[in-house]
Amino acid sequence: MKLLSVRDLSFQRQGYFAYKHVTFSLSQKESVSITGDSGSGKTALLETLAGLNYPDSGTASYTTGARVGFMPQIETEIINDSVVEHLEKIRQLTGDLAVRSDQAKDLAAYMGMSPFMDRKVSTLSVGLRQRVSFLAAVIGRPNILILDDPFSFQNSTYITNMLEIVKDLEDNGSGILVAGPMNDSGVDAYFDTNYQMKAKSLEPKNLADINLMLVFKITPDSMAITKELGAFVAAELDGVVELKVPAIHKDAIIKTMIELNYQFEGMRNLEV
């Protein structure tokens, strides 16, 4: 079922297009990424979808009963509540569909926020405030989650944790829309559909142009790698095997390696 339909959407600022003629859709259990250079129009587009500005032409239609969680690129509000107070207020505003209070604390702990729960949000570093903004967007369990540049100022551990939280929402029926800079292309493989902002418009991205390094741990039950997979092996050392693969084949190769009893450890983007 489609949750969001965007048709020929355009928006101008001071006589110049922030973005133009954007068309795409977002369905249940679908994740979409949009990458682009700074100033390409990603933020303006997501702000329109979140209701923060109005398009000059075109339409953006949500399904009946849509519940939108939005993380802005930069949180401009000065929040003097503590982290725990702020998240609890957001949770209560969302109502019965939100996670329980103890679940919200578990999510905060998973994002490394436990030592900072009693600190005022306004006193935190940029990276920590970004995590608070992310948590505020997800604790209501929205069926449409819109994240603008969520991985900025985060290390690989918390990027992975964010992606796992997002994946859980997707698996439970939500649609996910994430925007980020071009150098975040390594996360594209986590998403079902990938676009790039180019010339102020939206274009499909070709995952065949992206190579990934897949990392697997060798277990006592691991079987011999097949001849077909052997062509992708880049290194094998200290109980770990690395495969260099086109992103478009990522899911199939991970599935096969797991069937051969290798433990998937993660992936990273490679320059083509």
User: In this predicted model, what pLDDT tens digit does every residue of 97-137 receive, in sequence order?
Assistant: 899 999 999 999 999 999 999 999 999 999 999 999 999 99
Q: Tokens 């006193």 identify what position?
A: 123
Distance CA 27, CA 1 (A): 5
Asked if the 2-204 domain carries CATH number 3.40.50.300, the reply is: yes
Closest-CA residue to 192 (of 248, 151, 254): 248
Provide the strand spans (E) within the chain. Answer: 2-13, 16-27, 31-35, 57-62, 68-71, 144-148, 175-180, 193-198, 201-204, 211-218, 233-237, 240-246, 262-270
Top-confidence residue, 202 or 182: 202
Distance CA 127, CA 133 (A): 10
What are the backbone dihedrals phi and psi of residue 253, each rounded to the nearest 5 degrees, phi first? Answer: -70, -40
pLDDT value at position 77?
86
Beta-strand relationship, 175-180 and 144-148 = parallel
Give the full edge-to-edge strand order of the sheet including 2-13: 16-27, 2-13, 57-62
Q: Mean pLDDT of all residues in the chain?
A: 91
Domain with CATH 3.40.50.300 in the chain: 2-204
**Average pLDDT, integer, range 201-223:** 85
**pLDDT tens string 68-78:** 999 999 888 89
Q: Which residue type does 237 have?
A: L
**Average pLDDT, integer, range 175-196:** 80
Could you tell me the fold of the domain covering 208-270?
Alpha-Beta Plaits (3.30.70)
Distance CA 217, CA 242 (A): 9
pLDDT value at position 250?
83
pLDDT value at position 268?
77
End-to-end Cα spacing for the chain: 35
Question: Any idea which of 62-66, 79-83, 135-139, 268-272 has the lowest mean pLDDT?
Answer: 268-272
Closest-CA residue to 65 (of 165, 174, 139): 174
**pLDDT tens string 223-254:** 999 999 999 999 999 999 999 998 778 888 99
Cα 83 to its chain centre, rounded Å, is 22
pLDDT value at position 156?
85
The yes-or-no verdict on residue 53 having pLDDT over 90 is yes
- 269 with 156: CB under 8 angstroms? no
Q: Indicate the pLDDT class of residue 181, thresholds 50, 70 and 90.
A: confident
Domain with CATH 3.30.70 in the chain: 208-270
pLDDT value at position 76?
84
pLDDT value at position 272?
42
pLDDT value at position 203?
87
Top-confidence residue, 228 or 187: 228
**pLDDT tens string 12-25:** 988 899 999 999 99
The yes-or-no verdict on residue 204 having pLDDT over 70 is yes
> CB neighbours (10 Å) of residue 65?
7
pLDDT value at position 186?
56
Top-confidence residue, 185 or 63: 63
pLDDT value at position 184?
55
pLDDT value at position 189?
73
> CB neighbours (10 Å) of residue 192?
14
